[in-house]
Chains A and B, each alone.
Chain A
Amino acid sequence: MRTLPALRTSPTAKHVDRLMRGVLWIIALGFIAVLLIFVGAILKQGWPVLNLGFLTKMPETLDAGGGIKPQIFNSLYLVVLSLGLSLPVGLGAGIYMAEYAGKGRALQFFRLCIETLAATPSIVLALFGMIAFVQTMGWSFSIRSGALTLALLNLPVITRVTEVSLQSVPRELKEACYGLGATKLQTILKVALPYAATGILTGLVLTAGRAFGESAILVFTAGTNTSGQFPDFRLTVPGETLSVHLWSVTSDGTLPDAREIAAGTAAVMILILLILNLLVRFLDRAIRRRTR
């Protein structure tokens, strides 16, 4: 234990104190400004392009004036599919870690794995998906390759959120349940999970937002083209999402109106994310109201 340095409130210290408070306020306000400029610039660039036609037309391959209808669909479809794939596994793993793994080495090891997966760069997951699904399984660039790889991105977050939410279930609640003669499984399924559901749901929405914005993974697994049909539920066709579209129109430059389309796509993505964010906020408030 180190000893405290002699602390005296000298006049200089007071000045430093005031100065540093000012600096902290400036930094914080700076970040707010960055966000506002950022969102403002994206929306301002995209606003002239945003209209019903842009949202509901098919993309053009050679001419100007294409829309982003299938990309919107693919984004949502891939998010739903990848969540559908990672939710059961994530729930299972989260339940195991919170309720069964104890506090020992096993739990530490599982946590280490989850943290590693969470920290793995998406480009690395993309390489894995490309070797495993696109090449080894021979699935080509397709919705199924994309959904499976994207699920790897979601999995650690869902597991972690499930674990934390289950841990926050009051012990008395579970004890009461055992008191009513429930088995451990019944307690988890009928009492703990429903209690933790809002927390898990919040995590799920956050995960959805992340999957929605992901591009590196999908460029290498779901491809940079749409199938040309709408709506196309097939799992074997390539499925370009909004974020991939944003990247590919910018870097290909074959469309005469690539800039406008990129600006519009970015604006649509920001708007969708703002809506998701409001949803999280709403869920968060619901949780807090209940815990009070």
Chain B
Amino acid sequence: MRIRILAQSVLVGLLLAVTAQAQTVTVMGSTALGPIVKKAAEDFMKANPGVQIAVSGGGSMTGLNQVTSGGCHIGISDVFATPDQEKAGVKNHNIVVQPFTLIAHPGVGVKSLTSLQAEQVFTGKITNWKEVGGKDQKIVRVIRPESSGTRAVQKKEILHDHDFTKDVLIQDSTGAVVNSVATTIGAVSFVELEHLEKNKVRVSGIAYNGAECSNEAVKSGKYPIFSFGHAYTNPAKLSDPKVKQAAEAFLAYILTPAFQQNVVLKAGYLPVDYVKILKTKL
């Protein structure tokens, strides 16, 4: 008998749960941007009790796919939308700036690479650190998978669209990349600046064309390698005016100076308005 009562109450609870849906804005996409968007959602929901914001990961392109097809309201992404997706009417909002830097195992004996050297290290023309003034160590290139946004930036900015050599070690996430570089003699990689700053003891940064990566260098325009974190909406699929309003208010909240200064900076990104001159495409 007790089991039956329990089962009934569970059922009733389920029904209630299904019917009592608040106004929900769904956000999907980049796992890298996930944490700050989630933090924004928590703050935003506290200030606006009537609104629910559900953030789920899935990857940049999942976010873009879903926002294009109307599967979610906001898609967050490290990469730009494809031409097809743009044709379908998705709208870009840059929400943060993400600086990138070259890193290497501390023992390689190189502190700076020119843009040509950096390119040749990753295309495989340069195979030993002594060719660029370092120790006699084989270069071990650690990179992200094809579909990664970081790799897209690296290919465009460092390799100038040439192909990577095949002699690479591929790591799924930036965390794994940093671990590899820290433990592998001769390793070199390309990561978000925050990951260098968190791991300064284990890996060393490499300047690019003589400029070391830092928030200030990006802000002043001295350091050229960075990308935007994007939030995409698809106005054509946002038919519910209440959801539309909530989604817009949420995006506006992310761009408020308070959030950009307090959270975005703390999370290792840069506020969008640091970079006034927008680059067209990454």
* Across-interface contacts of B176 in A (CB, < 8 A): 251, 253
Decide yes or no whether A62 CB sits under 8 A from chain B: yes
Name, among A62, A80, A141, A238, the residue most crowded by chain B CB atoms within 10 Å (CB to CB): A141
Q: Is the CB of A61 within 8 A of B56?
A: no
Known contacts being A224-B57, A248-B57, is A140 close to B28, with CB within 8 Å?
Answer: yes
* 139-164 of chain A: CB within 8 A of chain B: 140-142
Say which residue of A223, A227, A238, A254 sits within 8 Å of B175 (CB atoms): A254
> CB distance A254 to B35 under 8 Å?
yes
Distance (whole angstroms) from the CB of A215 to the closest CB of chain B = 13
Chain B at the A interface: SS class: helix
How far is A233 from B12 in the complex, measured between Cα atoms in Å?
12
> Which of B58, B263, B267 interacts with A223 by CB under 8 Å?
B58
The bracket for how many chain B residues form the interface is 35 or more
Surface stretch bound by A, among B68-76, B102-110, B115-123: B68-76
Q: What is the CA–CA distance of A80 and B17 in the complex, to the nearest angstrom?
A: 15
Chain B proximity of A151: nearest CB distance (Å): 15
B280 CB-CB contact with A under 8 Å: no
Segment with Cβ contacts to A, from B36-44, B130-138, B215-223, B246-254: B36-44
A140 / chain B contacts, CB cutoff of 8 Å: 26, 28, 54, 56, 66, 71-72
Chain B residues within an 8 Å CB radius of A62:
35-36, 39, 263, 266-267
A228 touching B56 by the CB < 8 A rule?
no
Cα–Cα, bound, A157→B250 (Å)? 44
Contact between A61 and B71, CB atoms less than 8 A apart: no
Tell me, in angstroms, the Cα distance from A245 to B16 when the chains sit together: 27
- Top 4 nearest A-B pairs (CB, nearest first) are A253-B175, A223-B56, A233-B17, A238-B56
Q: Which residues of B contact A (CB under 8 A)?
A: 10, 13-14, 16-18, 20-21, 24, 26, 28, 31-32, 34-36, 38-39, 41-42, 45, 52, 54-58, 65-66, 69-72, 172-176, 178, 195, 198, 263, 266-267
